Amino acid sequence: MKKSYKIYFLSAFILGLSACNSSKNDFDATGVFEAEEIIISAESSGKLLNFNISEGDNLKKGQEIGAVDCQNIGLQKAQVQASIEALKLKQNNASPQIQIFYKQLESQKSVMATQKEQMTVLEKERKRIQNLVNAEAVPSKQLDDIIGQIDILKRQMESTQSQLAVITQQITSQKEQVNIQNKGILSETQPLQVRISQIDEQLGHCKITNPIDGTVLVKYAEAQEITGMGKPLYKIANLETMTLRAYIAGTQLGQVKVNQPVKIFIDNGKDSYKEMMGTISWISSKSEFTPKTIQTKDERANLVYATKIKVKNDGFLKIGMYGEVKF
């Protein structure tokens, strides 16, 4: 009884091992999992005031994770702003001189108003005397005197009107002159404004902002260290969706196409596999020699085609892990 039991157990083990080996050989391709790794570098030089990340941290796109000491750049901005304020103080103000001209203008307008009243009185007097002369009640000399006074007053009014025009022209000329002078001063502020915009951009680079959603793989720097522009700070990759780069022989090209769902198998202990689903996202249009670390279905095939298979990561997949593919 014991002997038959041992024979049965040994037979079952051999059958299981044979089935396992058969399953291993049944895969269509093998590959290695990858992720798009991005090395984030400093965009400014200085001391790292803070750098609050650790390897394994999950970061969000746009998340501020640190800052570089850019006090020197801030002082440069303050200096440029002070220069702009100094130029503003150099601008000429036309108001004092123009106020004098406006007072002269008002004075001449008052003279003109008085002359108009005098002209009205003289015209009435001329009409009255004209009627008396027509009636031969007064000598014509009185009429001639009134007409002479009217002529003199007209010339005075013309002179006053001319003075009004001159003062008005002086006001306009003074404004234009001051505007021309101020334009020259303001033209000096434009390059300074551009300089401020450049400094603001540099100050923006002093903040360390994470560019993508992902997981920190490697941290290259620590807070309080001195960094430089272009010096790596950390490496990050989005591990939510992994890419399995697998190689297939030319005889298998007819079995695959882009967006085709495939089965992925990952080692899950001894002689055990974890099955997942993936989607072919890319198939190379150019053949290449079989990589030494990749075993294809047909080991005799010398030329293979690279493929990329997108696999949703449930936390089990790691960069560099091997995966088997079944179409």
Residue 15 covered by a domain: no
Do 296 and 251 share a domain, yes or no? Answer: yes
Residues 254 and 107 in one domain: no
Whether the pLDDT of residue 16 is over 60: the answer is no
pLDDT band for 5, please (50, 70, 90 cuts): very low
pLDDT for 291 = 63
* pLDDT top residue among 303 and 145: 145
pLDDT bucket at 293, cuts 50 / 70 / 90: low
Whole-angstrom CA distances from 74 to 68, 189, 307 are 12, 19, 50
In a domain, 296, yes or no: yes
Residue 274 has pLDDT above 60, yes or no: yes
In a domain, 110, yes or no: yes
How confident is the model over 244-259, as pLDDT tens digits?
A: 999 988 888 888 999 9
Q: Which residues pair with 48 in a beta bridge?
A: 68
Domain end marker among 183, 215, 236 = 236
Cα–Cα distance for residue pair 192/146, rounded to 1 Å: 70
The tally of domains found in the chain comes to 3
233 in helix, strand or coil?
strand
Identify the residue whose tokens are 């009636």.
Answer: 135
CATH number of the domain residue 43 falls in? 2.40.50.100
- The chain-wide mean pLDDT, for the chain, equals 83
Shared domain check, 123 and 199? yes
Specify which of 13-27, 87-101, 163-177, 298-312 reaches the highest per-range mean pLDDT.
163-177
Computed on alpha carbons and rounded to an integer, the radius of gyration of the chain in Å comes to 48
Q: Verify that 251 and 288 share a domain, yes or no.
A: yes
Indicate if 45 and 91 belong to the same structural domain: no
Residue at 18 is within a domain: no
CB count within 10 Å of CB 301 equals: 16
pLDDT at residue 20, as a whole number: 37
Q: Are residues 92 and 201 in the same domain?
A: yes
CATH number, position 274: 2.40.30.170
pLDDT at 272 over 90: no
Q: Strands 64-68 and 273-283: what pairing?
A: unpaired
pTM score over 0.75: no
For residue range 204-230, what is the model confidence (pLDDT) as tens digits? 889 999 999 999 999 999 999 999 999
Who wins on pLDDT, 237 or 74?
A: 237
Asked if residue 97 and residue 187 are part of one domain, the reply reads yes
Of 121, 98, 105, 279, whose CA–CA distance to 175 is shortest? 98
* Residue 247 sits in the same domain as residue 315: yes
Question: Both 183 and 201 in a single domain?
Answer: yes
Q: pLDDT-based confidence at 269, cuts 50/70/90?
A: confident
Q: How far is CA 268 from CA 225, 273, 314, in A?
A: 42, 5, 14
- Asked if 294 and 30 touch (Cβ cutoff 8 Å), the reply is yes
Return the pLDDT at 232: 95
Segment 112-127, tens digit of pLDDT: 899 899 999 988 988 8
Which pLDDT score is estimated for 249? 85
Distance CA 244, CA 235 (A): 20
Q: Is 230 left (phi over 0), alpha (psi -120 to 50) or beta?
A: left
> Does residue 1 sit within a domain?
no
Residues 255 and 155 placed together within one structural domain of the fold: no
Question: For residue 187, how far is the Cα from the chain centroid?
Answer: 26
Amino acid 232 reads: P
Terminal Cα distance for the chain, rounded: 46
With respect to residue 134, please indicate whether it lies within any of the assigned structural domains. yes
Describe the strand order of the beta sheet including 232-237 as a list of residue ranges: 37-41, 232-237, 214-219, 58-59
Percent of the chain with pLDDT strictly greater than 70: 87
Q: Are residues 177 and 129 in the same domain?
A: yes
**Does 219 reside within a domain?**
yes
291 DSSP assignment: P
Instruction: Give the 3-state secondary structure of residue 154.
Output: helix
Widest CA span in the chain: 175
- Percent of the chain with pLDDT strictly greater than 90: 37
Q: What is the pLDDT of residue 278?
A: 95
CA dist., res. 77 & res. 82, Å (int): 9
Residues paired with 288 in a beta bridge:
304
End position of a domain, from candidates 236, 252, 284: 236
Residues 100 and 195 in one domain: yes
* Domain range for 193: 85-205
Domain boundary (160, 190, 205) is at 205
> pLDDT-based confidence at 54, cuts 50/70/90?
very high
Q: With bands split at pLDDT 50, 70 and 90, how would you rate the model's confidence at 292?
A: low
